[in-house]
Structure 1
Amino acid sequence: MNKAATLTAWASLLLPISSTYATSVYGPELEGFAYPYAVERFAFSSQQQPLSMAYMDVSPKGEANGRIAVLLHGKNFCAATWESSIEVLSNAGYRVIAPDQIGFCRSSKPRGYQFSFGQLADNTHALLNSLDIDKATIIGHSMGGMLAARFALNHPDQVEQLVLVNPIGLEDWQQAGVPYATIDQMYQGQLNISYQDMKNYQLKFYYNGEWKPEYDRWVDMAYGMYAGPGKELVAWNQAQTADMLFTQPVVHDFPNIQAPTLLLIGGKDRTAPGANRAPEPVAKRLGQYPELGRKTAEAIPNATLLEFPELGHSPQVEAPEVFHEALLRGLQAL
């Protein structure tokens, strides 16, 4: 694949490529990376195969408030990325469940699996049922926001409150004019991932051009699986899930969401899968989060919008104190 094609394929996955960089090496299920809390396993069968879903189940450290928060990670993130949010919520009296979705991080990496937001939502629903959880606050970030929205649509009785943190999927990229890239093209792009451009991408889109040493841990986490022996399978699942998020928009279903919804939007975010392969006039219109956040708040019947104008795609990592103060305030408003 030539350089231009590789850049196009990888940009569509929200991560760039470039030179090599020494980093930690992890197994295909993120073996070797330390999670902040004990990791448990939910074994189940899906699409005629046995699978294992990793998750953290953290009890309240403060006085229990009787509520449960379920944290859904983004595409280039893991349950471990919620580390500071888990601590804050637990201290505030919440029981916190943070799973790794099938195909990601500590969970199974099936070679043959039809990835869909409906399937991942059902897997999460089955996990909560196994833990006897009837109601929960569902909090999703980035791709996890798309999944959280689909979960709220498919399993409304299980959702006490919905929280979307800089979710992608607030627009339909394909409808907007972004060309389709095949899974094979995505996969070839994934195989060329490097540490340094992954870091450069996060610097630009996640942290608004200002890097802090504590961010290195999350680049190391994300890239370590590509440096390890399971690179090809990790890359294949990432290509499959890239196709999922591009071809399965949730934006058109926002008016059908019943749960009270809190939108937490970093205004500097410009994330738009596939924008680099779109014509320039199309690309310029995509990922305008201040506008997208307001349109989404209007589309979801019972939505409240809290904006962070100076923050980017990951406000919970970039400015945890500011973010968590707003999150707790929004949760208490229920």
Structure 2
Amino acid sequence: MKAKSYLFLTVLLLFSASKLYAQVQPVDLNLENYKYPFPVRSVTINSQKQELQMVYMDVKPDKPNGKVVMLLHGKNFNGAYWRQTAESLTKAGYRVIIPDQIGFGKFSKPLNYQYSFQDLAKNTREVLDGLNITKVSIVGHSMGGMLATRFTLMYPDRVEKFILVNPIGLEDYKLKVPYQTLDAAYQKELKQTYESLKKYQQANYYDGQWKPAYEEWLTPLAGWTLNKDYPVIAWNSALTADMIMTQPVVYEFDKIKAPALLIIGQRDRTAIGKDMAPEHLKATMGNYPELGKQTQAKIANSKLVPLAGVGHLPHIEAFEQFIKPLVDFLNE
């Protein structure tokens, strides 16, 4: 009887998963058929002999306090996942700028581009220049934390406050992970599916947990794998992974001068390339409780807010725990 019950449950779970995957529809190369939470604007960026369309959202408050916050997304996401954060910040009086970076979201996906955090920072500065914004508080999550760091180092006079939310790059991954060629990384990306993407996020972001709220931010990634142009997405993903691996920011945190806040989910164990690292090193990677402390010690005038039981996406998984310290810090 128990065996039959187990078999029935297994079939039911597989059926539910396949039904959900069937509901995931292909999304366009630049997410033209994927609606963002706020009006989308674009600016032409001339970079590396190409004209590229950089997309961003400019969310204005009803009662402005004269301050601007810029939100930078992570590698497996786009600017849309800042929706709830932007809504709360605008209620608090802040104007919110949310750019998509090149190769992500609604931004152009070039086949021939040399990715660097310096170039992404320059592109991002051009958006602010076009809006006549001279000062921002900058919030970077995951890969966006590495970009926020590079932006702040390149343009210190533009940054009022510097906030990292479970950023990657608090350690130098290439010291523990064997080098992976772009061709190998590309082949790996080509194999991505809804199931593999969800499995990765469950294991690395949510500690095996899964809620309907998480599905919303998986859908664009999974939809891309069903698009005929997915090889273009996969190639850009391989290029950005190489950028993360080969362009560490961990050695420069002591040069940050802006007041800083680190919001760190303590359950997070995300580390780029961990699956390729030798077994004896895997357990030493992505130790966010320690990495948060080490990074705070490097940045003068910084605060650390550890969030117990929270993983890689505090602003999705535990919004109330995330937003209060952020707004309090911005209001100081």
TMscore range, shorter length = over 0.9
Instruction: Report if aligned partners of 1:194, 1:223 keep a CA contact under 8 Å in 2.
Output: yes
Q: Which residue in the other structure is 1:291 paired with?
A: 290
Correspondence 1:119-130 to 2 at 5 A:
119-130=119-130
Q: Which residue in the other structure is 2:65 paired with?
A: 65
State whether structure 2 residue 251 is matched by structure 1 residue 255.
Answer: no
Q: Which residue in the other structure is 1:84 paired with?
A: 84
Q: Deviations over 1:204-255 (max 9, x none)?
A: 2222322111211111112212211220111110000000000000000111
Q: Which residue in the other structure is 1:34 paired with?
A: 35
How far the C-alpha of 1:197 sits from its partner, in A, is 2.0
> What is the aligned-residue identity percentage?
49
Correspondence 1:57-206 to 2 at 5 A:
57-61=58-62, 63-175=63-175, 177-206=176-205
SS at match of 1:285: coil
Instruction: Report if aligned partners of 1:142, 1:165 keep a CA contact under 8 Å in 2.
Output: yes
Letter matched to residue 158 of structure 2: Q
Instruction: Report if aligned partners of 1:110, 1:237 keep a CA contact under 8 Å in 2.
Output: yes
Q: Which residue in the other structure is 2:327 paired with?
A: 328
Instruction: Report if aligned partners of 1:59, 1:95 keep a CA contact under 8 Å in 2.
Output: yes
Moved more, 206-215 or 134-143: 206-215
Q: Which residue in the other structure is 1:48 paired with?
A: 49
SS at match of 2:268: coil
How far the C-alpha of 1:58 sits from its partner, in A, is 0.5
Q: Deviations over 1:46-88 (max 9, x none)?
A: 1111000010000013x21111010000000100011110101
Counterparts of 1:24 and 1:218, CA distance in 2: 14
Q: Which residue in the other structure is 1:12 paired with?
A: none
SS at match of 2:167: coil
Q: What TM-score, normalized to structure 1?
A: 0.92
Q: Which residue in the other structure is 2:268 paired with?
A: 269
Letter matched to residue 166 of structure 2: N
Counterparts of 2:195 and 2:58, CA distance in 1: 33
Instruction: Report if aligned partners of 1:21, 1:194 keep a CA contact under 8 Å in 2.
Output: no
Moved more, 277-286 or 143-152: 277-286
Counterparts of 2:209 and 2:277, CA distance in 1: 27
Letter matched to residue 27 of structure 1: D
Q: Which residue in the other structure is 2:4 paired with?
A: none
How far the C-alpha of 1:201 sits from its partner, in A, is 1.6
How far the C-alpha of 1:21 sits from its partner, in A, is 3.5
Larger radius of gyration: 2
Moved more, 195-204 or 295-304: 195-204
Letter matched to residue 237 of structure 1: N
Counterparts of 1:231 and 1:197, CA distance in 2: 15
Number of paired residues? 313
How far the C-alpha of 1:307 sits from its partner, in A, is 0.6
Q: Deviations over 1:250-308 (max 9, x none)?
A: 00011111111110000000000111111111111000000000000001112110110
Counterparts of 1:80 and 1:108, CA distance in 2: 16
RCO (CA 8 Å, sep 6+): is it higher in 1 or 2? 1
Instruction: Report if aligned partners of 1:263, 1:297 keep a CA contact under 8 Å in 2.
Output: yes
Q: What TM-score, normalized to structure 2?
A: 0.92
SS at match of 1:239: helix
Q: Which runs of 5+ in 1 are unaligned?
A: 1-18
SS at match of 2:306: strand
SS at match of 2:283: helix
Correspondence 1:209-220 to 2 at 5 A:
209-220=208-219
How far the C-alpha of 1:328 sits from its partner, in A, is 0.8
Counterparts of 1:262 and 1:60, CA distance in 2: 23
How far the C-alpha of 1:199 sits from its partner, in A, is 1.2
Counterparts of 1:212 and 1:332, CA distance in 2: 32
